[in-house]
Structure 1
Amino acid sequence: MGLLGAGVSAASRTLGHWISLGTTGAMMALVLAFIFSKVKLRKQLPGSTWVHWYGPFLTVLAASIFIMAEPLRHVLQDIDAWPECGNNDVFPRVNETWNTGCTWSSSQYKCDKLCYVQNGDSSFCASNPTNVGCGGDLTGKLPEYYTQKEIDELLCLPGVDPKDCVAADDMCHCTDDESFSNLSTIGWIFTFTFTYLGFFILTAGVMWNAEIVKKFAKIKSQYRALRDPEYRRKLKEEAKGEVVYVRGEIAKNKVLMFSKTTCPFCFKAKEALNKELGGEGAYEVIELDLVDNGPAIQDALAIITGGRTVPRVFINGEFIGGGDDTVAKQASGELRELLATAGAV
């Protein structure tokens, strides 16, 4: 006797809700796993605290909870763990469209379809004298809510008590108006607020993880270098000036790495050196993203080594390569030999 509504069937809606919950959950799990993998890199930041280490992860975790709320609401509604307003056993609205009892149901939209039963018996009408369905012919009143086919499916048999007509397993169709203007209280909380707030927080967490503010500052400098020849010449002069500094650091340290705190290849090179030397304190690391003249030092490295990418690893004054080169040399045993020759082990 229950109505499923026009268009999409209940089964296809339920399947769609489960697919949405699964794909959204999988997507958020992948994002969380990726951001958590960066915790090791963040722990290398000098003076950093647990806020720097776990802040982006916890931010995205909070975003995930908000984003997952809406698809979870759909599924809880489908399995009747959180009943909707159309469930008259929990939220009775016999001969009504919407009432205050439906406010905290799982219904996303306000019901505007009348949950109708045929003329009630005398006891029902005595206690509900103003209700639709008591005291007269309903001809012409129902079409504004239902088609004739829907009306026929909702009619009670003559003499049947209305309470028995709309039973626990009967559902009254809620609405066909699935628009923002018809959102219920739960709709505004879950569909609108939680969803949009979740994606806003997700954006903030991802940008924090990517250290986008630092990268914007770098882009600004690069853009100016492209547009301003004088500024470009200034950068070249600064790079030439940093060559002396870089050569001095190379000569001063038996083992030296030019690195960045957010660079995964730098992390691999550090792991290789740590295995041979017992920790980062046994060699010198210059984090270029933590010094004001980092870009100029990279330009100086390009003059000295032919490349400005990091890491740049030097042992005993000689450039041995980047991250992959250092890892490969550690695996082959060559790195240990180079360190022994330099007197670092």
Structure 2
Amino acid sequence: MKYRLLGRTGVWVSEISLGTMTFGGKGHAVYGKLGALGQDEVDRMVGTALDAGVNFVDTADAYADGESEELVGRAIQHRRRDVVLATKFRAPVGPGPNDQGLSRLHVMRALEDSLRRLKTDYIDLYHIHNYDQLTPMEETLAALDDAVRQGKVRYVAAANLAAWQISKALGISARYDRARFVANQVHYSLVSRDAERDLVPMAEDEGVSLTVWSPLAGGFLSGKFERGGAVADVESRRSQVGFDFVQFDEARGFDVVDVLRTVAARHDASPARVAIAWLLTRPAVTSVIVGARRMDQLTDNLAAAELTLTEQDLAELDEVSRPPVAYPNWIQAAFAPGRIPAANRA
């Protein structure tokens, strides 16, 4: 396993991190279909990941109505110092009007509840799970800064925020000397490269890590789906949930999968392993979050850390998956060389 720095913190995290959306939720309308793994299965999966060198574990208070956090807490309780533990809050966790959002009231409640479920007295990386249009960012950041100063949170991060929202938050933190976001958790894959328009450049410029969720686009990039709707693996997340949670052009996606299979065959690897390895070559990406229902899926995903793609592999994957360049990126790129006098160009 290789390790990368988390933002500008000096903390090293494994480039493959363990996602826990498949933990718990038996009988739940949504999470019951994603995995519903029990404690014994969770213990084995977490143990396998940690033994393979993974030190970064990601969960959320909303996963399986909090059960995921409980299962993770029990699984790591004897190896807590080996884990950089991340969790998230913002989504509804109860019927009350204040059981969601990014208000100071909910930040404090959510934090205490997560600490209790995780059986720990601190969280290493505490994420806001999404944007809150109703709560001023200043209020949220002040509450998170208090949590850091109290020692209950080591670092703060975001998930699913736009580049301008992260930049605004960083400006507020700098102005008031508050804890700044060190990472942003984003959706990014070979069939969804939207992050490259603004999030990747922002992350590089500001020293914010990108951690990636759903690197296989809900199982689509596992290669188990065929044109015409056939599914080779009925346990895939995409087929189990019953709706397309991640959005992309499916027709174009199958073109990507065709090339993915070709590259995978060259390395005697699975398409999933190649898709994760490709993400690990992308700028600003610090860690790719992998989740699994079965142990063989986990071990295959972990093996992506040892797969080195060739220049030919990368060129072919880039060509088939490259998105159109959005404005103003294309016009800035067109004018950029003009700033360097011809005599000074390499």
Pairwise TM-score range, normalised by the shorter structure: under 0.3
More strand by share: 2
Could you state the TM-score of these two structures normalised by the residue count of structure 2? 0.20
Q: Larger C-alpha radius of gyration, 1 or 2?
A: 1
More helix by share: 1
Could you state the TM-score of these two structures normalised by the residue count of structure 1? 0.20
